[in-house]
């Protein structure tokens, strides 16, 4: 069921009926319809009814705060430059990613985790693939919390992809499992994000400047009580806020899903604005389902040419990290 949007506000969708063994077909159909509506109109929605306990959402922020409170020398020990080969893991300091010409690099600071692939695996060190880097923090307070959260995100992402496929036009005749190959050994970069105050506000600078996600879908957890995420809404040509839903996740459609669906689902531009209050901080956790890096498909309406996950994400990352990032 959905509690639907007033015009120009990000909708909230309760996916409880998809997970409940006792829900009726009609209840499930309504969830599919609410997700379809949100994804074609906004490319964004808040998702509740996911069944992930509040304590687990709280814990991930506690782990995040532990990491970003470490002294810089400690964060440097897991700098992205230290990841194996092109695995792209670890601490990305502020001012690395730049989304377009004419804006300054993002003020965000992030810790990047991916699917754990051991160093002796034949693919280890290839693009986005390899072992994670773990900082000098108690395993039970950090690594275990993050990997448990990551496992939940993979499960949830599989469910959402299935719901999105069910919402596609019937005329396309898509099998419900048509995109399941994406979620087999997927590339799943997860960014724990920290936004600190900026000394001087500059109109060219953002926490994260306007961009679309490269991913198939993104599952974002916003810290309760904070604001700053905005999405571009073409009908009113305006940036609209993405409010924090209690115990909810923000789901957004990424570029890959937009391409798979020939633009039916929208990969919407969004950004995070800065603030200058000295003691203010904002934390968020963005889980990107890029997908299996070897997965390829044509758009599901039968048009166009094949889209390859690995090649697409590589071109986007390379463009936005430039010489400031690790060599990928
Ligand atoms: O921190 C947020 O709320 C959004 C971050 C974001 O858009 C991203 O990392 O792609
Ligand atoms: Fe984003």
Q: What is the pLDDT of residues 11-51, one digit of tens each?
A: 999 999 999 999 999 999 999 999 999 999 999 999 999 99
- Cβ 51 vs Cβ 30: under 8 Å: no
Q: How far apart are CA 11 and CA 126, in angstroms?
A: 38
CATH class held by domain 12-321: mainly beta
Asked if 289 and 218 touch (Cβ cutoff 8 Å), the reply is yes
pLDDT in tens, 214-256: 999 999 999 999 999 999 999 999 999 999 999 999 999 999 9
Q: How far is the CA of 1 from the centre of ligand 1 (A)?
A: 26
d(CA 237, CA 28): 33
CA of 222, closest atom in ligand 1: 3
pLDDT value at residue 7: 55
Torsion of CA 203, 208, 214, 220, to 10 degrees: -140
Largest CA-CA distance found in the chain, in angstroms, rounded: 57
Distance CA 100, CA 259 (A): 21
How many angstroms separate the Cα of 219 from the Cα of each of 94, 120, 192, 304? 22, 30, 12, 28
Residue whose entry in the numeric block shows the structure tokens 């430039």? 322
User: Cβ distance 84 to 169 under 8 Å?
Assistant: no
Q: Identify the bridge partners of residue 297 per DSSP, sorted by sequence position.
A: 307
Residues with a CB atom less than 6 Å from ligand 1? 191, 193, 208, 213, 220, 222, 229, 270, 272, 284, 286
Task: Give 124: exposed, middle or buried? Use CB within 10 Å, 0-12, 13-18, 19+.
Answer: middle
Conformation bin of residue 312: beta by default, left when phi > 0, alpha when psi is -120 to 50: alpha
Structure tokens at 270: 């969004």
Q: What is the dihedral of CA 44, 34, 150, 295, to 10 degrees?
A: -80
State both tokens at 284: 């968020």
Q: How much is the pLDDT for 138?
A: 98
Question: What is the per-residue pLDDT for 8?
Answer: 65
Beta bridge partners of 111: 91, 192
pTM of the model: 0.96
**Distance of CA 317 from the midpoint of ligand 1 (Å):** 15
Atom of ligand 1 lying closest to residue 207 CA: 1
Per-residue pLDDT of the chain (328 residues; tens, 9 = 90+): 444 445 568 999 999 999 999 999 999 999 999 999 999 999 999 999 999 999 999 999 999 999 999 999 999 999 999 999 999 999 999 999 999 889 999 999 999 999 999 999 999 999 999 999 999 999 999 999 999 999 999 999 999 999 999 999 999 999 999 999 999 999 999 999 999 999 988 999 999 999 999 999 999 999 999 999 999 999 999 999 999 999 999 999 999 999 999 999 999 999 999 999 999 999 999 999 999 999 999 999 999 899 999 999 999 999 999 888 888 8
d(CA 284, CA 278): 19
CA–CA gap between residue 29 and residue 134 (Å, rounded):
42
Three-class DSSP category at 193:
strand
For residue 208, report the distance from its CA to the centre of ligand 1, in Å: 7
């Amino acid at each position: 069921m959905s509690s639907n949007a007033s015009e120009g506000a990000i909708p909230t969708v309760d996916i409880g009926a998809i997970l409940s063994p006792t829900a009726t077909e009609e209840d499930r159909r309504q969830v599919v319809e609410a997700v379809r509506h949100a994804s074609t109109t906004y490319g964004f929605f808040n998702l509740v009814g996911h069944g992930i306990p509040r304590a687990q959402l709280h814990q991930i922020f506690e782990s995040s705060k532990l990491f970003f409170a470490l002294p810089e020398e400690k964060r440097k020990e897991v700098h992205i430059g230290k990841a194996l080969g092109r695995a792209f893991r670890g601490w990305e300091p502020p001012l690395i990613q730049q989304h377009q010409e004419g804006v300054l690099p993002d003020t965000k600071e992030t810790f990047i985790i991916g699917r754990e692939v051991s160093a002796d695996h034949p693919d280890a060190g290839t693009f986005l693939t390899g072992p994670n880097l773990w900082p000098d923090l108690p395993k039970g307070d950090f690594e275990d919390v993050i990997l448990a959260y990551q496992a939940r995100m993979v499960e949830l992402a599989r469910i959402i992809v299935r719901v999105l496929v069910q919402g596609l036009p019937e005329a396309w005749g898509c099998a419900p499992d048509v995109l399941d190959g994406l979620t087999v050994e997927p590339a799943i970069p997860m960014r724990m994000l920290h936004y600190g105050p900026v000394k001087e506000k500059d109109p060219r600078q953002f926490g994260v400047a306007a961009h679309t996600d490269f991913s198939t879908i993104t599952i974002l957890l916003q810290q309760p009580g904070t604001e700053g995420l905005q999405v571009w809404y073409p009908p009113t040509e305006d940036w609209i806020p993405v409010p924090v839903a209690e115990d909810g996740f923000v789901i957004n459609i990424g570029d890959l899903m937009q391409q798979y669906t020939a633009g039916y689902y929208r990969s919407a531009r969004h950004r995070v604005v800065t603030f200058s209050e000295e003691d203010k901080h904002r934390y968020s956790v963005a889980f990107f389902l890029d997908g299996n890096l070897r997965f390829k498909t044509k758009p599901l309406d039968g048009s166009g040419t094949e889209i390859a996950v690995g090649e697409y994400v590589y071109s986007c990352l390379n463009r936005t990290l430039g010489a400031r990032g690790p060599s990928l």
